[in-house]
Amino acid sequence: MVRKRPPRLPVCGPFVGRRRGQPGAVIRGDSRNAAQRAARRARGRRRDLPRVGPIASIEIGVLIQRMVQATVSGVAFTVNPLTGQADEIVINAARGLGEALVSGAIDPDEYIVRKSTGELLLRRTTGSAGLPAMRDDDIAALAALLQRIESHYGAPQDVEWCCDDGGLWIVQSRPVTATTSANAPDIEWTRANLAEVMPDLTSPQALAVFEELLNEAEKVNLGRFLAPEAELGPLVKSFAGRPYFNISQMRRVSRSAGMPPAVMLRSMGHPEAISADDEVAPRLSAGQVVRRLPDFARLGWRHVRAASIVQATLARSAAALMEAKAVDPTRLTDAELFTAMNGWRRTGATEMQTVLLLAGVSFHERPVRQICERVGFPFEHLVYPQLAVGERSVSSQQAFDLVALADSARRDPHVRRILAEVRPDDYRQLRESLQGTAFLAALDRFLENYGHRGRYESDWALPRLHEDPTPIFQAIRAHLLDEAPPANDQEEARRERVAADAWTAFIAKLSWWQRQVTLPRIRRSVATIKRYYVWRERVRSDFIRVLAEVRRWHLALADRYVGRGWLDNRDDYFLVQLPEIGAVIDGTAPPETLRPIVAARRAEQERYRALRMPLFMKESDLHRLVRASAVSGVADADGESLTGMPVSGGCVEADVVVVRDPADFEQMTRGAILVAPATDPSWTPLFTLASGVIVEVGGVLSHASTIAREFGLPAIANVKNATRRLKTGDRVRLDAMSGQIYRIAQVARS
């Protein structure tokens, strides 16, 4: 993290490193320059400066330095400031002058080098200028120079540097002190809500782009509610190949807006991180309100205009989809394809802003929560039943359409036999065997509507359902095992009765005056909350629909690179970040650089895969967590109680079915409680079979929570290690009012 500092005199004079293609590094000048020597002779002082000690204690004359016209600027630490690793050098770099970097206006590239071997451990490039800031040989030269500086001063150093056409220059060096570390905030991070939409190890290509898109969109969306990055860091950052949201920033946003941070923490899936202070809405002074008035007005106006913003977003997505489908990648040059990809990336942040606006549904939930607290009626008992009735979200409709598809198969004995005999992952054989059936025509219509979706669909390195419909066939086979499914109209009538009863019970708590004045406003707010959830699923679905077309462009470019012998296979392509691909396309880097990048990135992914990164962490704990995970893995949690966060009300007793992967979909049985790590839209068909839901990851806004409420299923999220602590066949009572899971009977443990 780059911190903004007051200007200081340089500790040592400028260094010049090797020119490109020249080994080694030499000192162009040192601190004993002519001006210093003349001043010291006049004062009768020693000529030599001390090796260690603050330069501010040395009296000198006027120091005149040349202005370096930097092409690349950066900050480096000769010890990892995040983990405390003494054998690691951390380099932050960006093209151009250093002011934008130090002020936090741009996100730098980041490199981590092991001192003892010179190995490049991490390369995180933002591509903000279209190219990586540094080449491998430049990184190696700077790392060697940094070690010389640390050795010279005898202590870890925090170094500002830059590079011009002449080589490397050291602008400033100061010790990395305990005082500096103590003054830095201990930032908290979460990946709970990102873990359900991104794989545990997202492809480096997609990860870099989404980190950039989310940070850019949130800066526009939240404006000055966010603290400067120099103070609390970016809103999104990757650790060990996993993206994390900055909870410290979100706490700051909540308090700046006069909201209790507990609301945000529950929505992101971290009730265990909530303190008593988080439940209290801070009182803003008149001065604070005035200073933030423009941001209050802008955000409030966006919520007032939410309907028109959503419609405009959907229209843009439809237009983008038409343009994307019109692109024939086989007829475009590499440069034209790359331009099209970058065009999507530039507009992606705008679409992301609408998703983030709709994630701010607490804007409308707050007045409902306040009146519920005032009259003593649980918010969840009123609102959650209303989310189960009325218009269905596109993700919920996907499940109902799959049930209809399964019913089509159930009515045709020939289709049932084929689906039972042919492996669900043999799509070619299934299509050949199903030719001419009404089921195949219905399947094609289903794929036309939902084929753009898939597991962890935000990562375009992974296949879509229309490429690999195995999860669809797995879910259909699970439905076919259920000979007598209940009528959907009866279940819908039950949900409507529950919703009506909730209003009746709530209204009974209101005074006559509240019924006349407050109730109409609360009804409007609840209706708006429902619309936000429906809109959010639709906007995300349309965003992914366009992204599926963008994946088609990437695959075309990947196949070209494999055909030319630059890469071994398609998967290698997604290990290369877009600026690195752009450098090959525009001739800045030769194609031969791709294989070393892939090899380094694959080795990096393997190191990351061995780590079990926590969903919630503090930066100060990162080194300890990574080291403990690498040595022993995650501790068994069987001794802990089965508790979590209620996200959809109700209570049910049933056997559980543990489903860790779409390959396990067939194991799901009607009436069972679904236990999963997390869910995304590809899992939605299982909700039509389940009587309850338990997930390890998620909050109020997560996919499992949203769909469970629409189906009226009791659900608990954030149940730690649930898929390991529960076994298929265990019988439990799921109490989604209290967040407790009671184990009634266990199957034999092996």
3-state secondary structure 51-89: CCCCHHHCCCCCCCCCCCCCCEEEEEECCCCCCCCCCEE
Neighbour-count burial for 338-368, b at 16+ CB within 10 Å, e otherwise: bebbeebbeebbebbbbbebbebbbbbbeeb
Amino acid making up residue 23: P
Q: Which pLDDT does position 107 carry in this prediction? A: 66
Amino acid making up residue 471: P
Domain positions in the chain are 16-183, 306-375+538-590, 645-745
Given its phi and psi angles, is residue 461 left (phi above 0), alpha (psi -120 to 50 degrees) or beta?
A: alpha
Q: Is the pLDDT of residue 584 over 70?
A: yes
**Which pTM value belongs to this model?**
0.72
Q: Which position has the higher pLDDT, 19 or 52? A: 52
Q: Which pLDDT does position 46 carry in this prediction? A: 42
Tens digit of pLDDT for each residue in 612-671? 788 888 877 776 666 555 444 333 334 446 888 888 888 999 999 999 887 788 888 888
Q: Is the pLDDT of residue 16 over 50?
A: no
**Topology (CATH level 3) of domain 645-745:** Glucose Oxidase; domain 1 (3.50.30)
Phi, psi of 459, rounded to the nearest 5 degrees? -90, 105
Q: Is the pLDDT of residue 346 over 60?
A: yes
Q: Is the pLDDT of residue 283 over 80?
A: yes
Q: Is the pLDDT of residue 21 over 80?
A: no
Q: Is the pLDDT of residue 183 over 80?
A: no
Strand 692-695 to 651-658 pairing: unpaired
Between the CA of residue 134 and those of 130, 180, 580, what are the distances in Å? 12, 27, 11
Q: Is the pLDDT of residue 40 over 60?
A: no
Q: Which pLDDT does position 68 carry in this prediction? A: 78
Q: Which pLDDT does position 749 carry in this prediction? A: 66
Q: Which pLDDT does position 643 carry in this prediction? A: 86
Phi, psi of 654, rounded to the nearest 5 degrees? -170, 170
The mean pLDDT value for 209-218 works out to 89
Rounded to whole angstroms, the Cα distance separating 133 from 93 reads: 6
Rounded to whole angstroms, the Cα distance separating 657 from 676 reads: 9
Rounded to whole angstroms, the Cα distance separating 222 from 494 reads: 40
Tens digit of pLDDT for each residue in 320-344? 899 888 889 989 999 999 998 888 8
Q: Is the pLDDT of residue 52 over 60?
A: no
**Mean of the per-residue pLDDT values for the chain?**
82
Looking at the chain, the whole-number percentage of residues with pLDDT higher than 70 is 83
**With bands split at pLDDT 50, 70 and 90, how would you rate the model's confidence at 465?**
very high
Rounded to whole angstroms, the Cα distance separating 60 from 307 reads: 65
**Shortest CA distance to 398 belongs to which of 358, 447, 435?**
447
Span between the terminal Cα atoms of the chain, in Å: 47
Between the CA of residue 204 and those of 92, 207, 571, 574, what are the distances in Å? 18, 5, 11, 7
Q: Is the pLDDT of residue 713 over 60?
A: yes
Instruction: Please provide the DSSP assignment of 465-488 as one string.
Output: TTT--HHHHHHHHHHHT-SSPPPH
Tens digit of pLDDT for each residue in 151-174? 888 888 889 999 888 788 888 888
**With bands split at pLDDT 50, 70 and 90, how would you rate the model's confidence at 130?**
low
Tens digit of pLDDT for each residue in 424-457? 888 999 999 999 999 999 999 999 999 999 888 9
Rounded to whole angstroms, the Cα distance separating 691 from 701 reads: 20
Q: Is the pLDDT of residue 727 over 50?
A: yes
Q: Is the pLDDT of residue 607 over 80?
A: yes
Between the CA of residue 683 and those of 67, 109, 557, 701, 707, what are the distances in Å? 59, 36, 30, 16, 10
Rounded to whole angstroms, the Cα distance separating 631 from 686 reads: 36
Q: Which residues pair with 489 in a beta bridge?
A: none
**Cβ atoms of 598 and 575 closer than 8 Å:** yes
Q: Is the pLDDT of residue 90 over 60?
A: yes
311, two tokens: 């419609």
- Sign of the Cα pseudo-torsion (683, 686, 687, 690, in order): negative
Rounded to whole angstroms, the Cα distance separating 30 from 20 reads: 22
Could you say which DSSP state residue 643 is in?
A: B
- Residue 414: how many CA atoms within 13 Å on its side-chain side? 9
Q: How many residues does the chain have?
A: 750
**With bands split at pLDDT 50, 70 and 90, how would you rate the model's confidence at 132?**
confident
Q: Which position has the higher pLDDT, 205 or 629? A: 205
Instruction: Please provide the DSSP assignment of 230-283 as one string.
Output: HHH--SEEEETTEEEEEHHHHHHHHHHTT--HHHHHHHHT-GGG--TGGGSPPP
**Cβ atoms of 522 and 374 closer than 8 Å:** no
Amino acid making up residue 183: N
3-state helix/strand/coil string of 149-215: HHHHHCCCEEEEEEEECCEEEEEEEEECCHHHHHHCCCCEEECCCCCCCCCCCCCHHHHHHHHHHHH
Q: Which pLDDT does position 182 carry in this prediction? A: 44
Q: Which pLDDT does position 263 carry in this prediction? A: 81
Tens digit of pLDDT for each residue in 269-281? 766 677 777 888 8
Tens digit of pLDDT for each residue in 477-490? 888 887 665 566 77
Lookup result for tokens 């801070």: 282
Burial of residue 513 (CB within 10 Å: 0-12, 13-18, 19+) is exposed
3-state helix/strand/coil string of 523-585: HHHHHHHHHHHHHHHHHHHHHHHHHHHHHHHHHHHHHHHHHCCCCCCHHHHCCCCHHHHHHHH
Out of 93-107, 180-194, 276-290, the most confident range is 276-290
3-state helix/strand/coil string of 545-560: HHHHHHHHHHHHHHHH
Amino acid making up residue 442: A
**With bands split at pLDDT 50, 70 and 90, how would you rate the model's confidence at 581?**
very high
Q: Which CATH number fits domain 16-183: 3.90.1170.50, 3.30.565.10, 3.30.470.20, 3.40.718.10?
A: 3.30.470.20
